[in-house]
Structure 1
Amino acid sequence: MDNHGDYKIIGNSRQRYSYGIDLNSSWNGIDLRMFLQGVGKRNYYPPGGDHYFWGIYAQPWASLTKFNLDHWTPENPNAYLPRPKSYVAEQSGIELAATQTKYLQNAGYLRVKM
């Protein structure tokens, strides 16, 4: 077996803990129905080239959103993102597009329908 050093499997894009509940109520001629549905646990890692998540890190023409403004500077060394540099998230498997735990997103959700 090959020794991959600190390589380990992270995340799971399959949705786990799916749930749903349908609530009905009526009182004095007023009816209310609410449907709650969601996924308790799911991981998402934005792929290389996903300019909606990576912004200027994937494409130089992408806008700098508020999310992208938390980048490294000498005054902000603990920023969420590195210094702005185009194309570092463009190709899968290298630089920012290399899967890592820092940018692994929680994709669990709760949807309410009335």
Structure 2
Amino acid sequence: MLMLGFAGLLGLLKIVLMALAAFGLFDAVFRREDAFRAADKQTKPFWLIILALALVVSYIFSIFSFLPIIGVIASIVYIVDVRPAVRTASGGGGGRGRRGGSSSDGPYGPYNGGR
């Protein structure tokens, strides 16, 4: 009975690890390529490959192997470090600190062309 509960816990943990990698992968798919370069992070294909490998490895291998641990670390690095930098570089701040001004706004307010 205890082993069955432990196996269920490991199965749940495996699903969580796969969901983490899948979230990072789908987020990276919908980000622009130039935002990765503007944020001074690795390229978009690099992160797509790393996150896809993390998803596949977390599906195939056991939790006790070191490969899923590497995949989890890569997913966490993307979600915690790369994703916020790419969102900021692409202009998608997520509503935090954005005023919603127009494209002609300067640092001290709207630019009216010297009128």
Q: TM-score range by the shorter chain?
A: under 0.3
TM-score between the two structures when normalised by the length of structure 1: 0.25
Q: Which has the higher contact order (CA 8 A, sep 6+)?
A: 1
Larger helix percent: 2
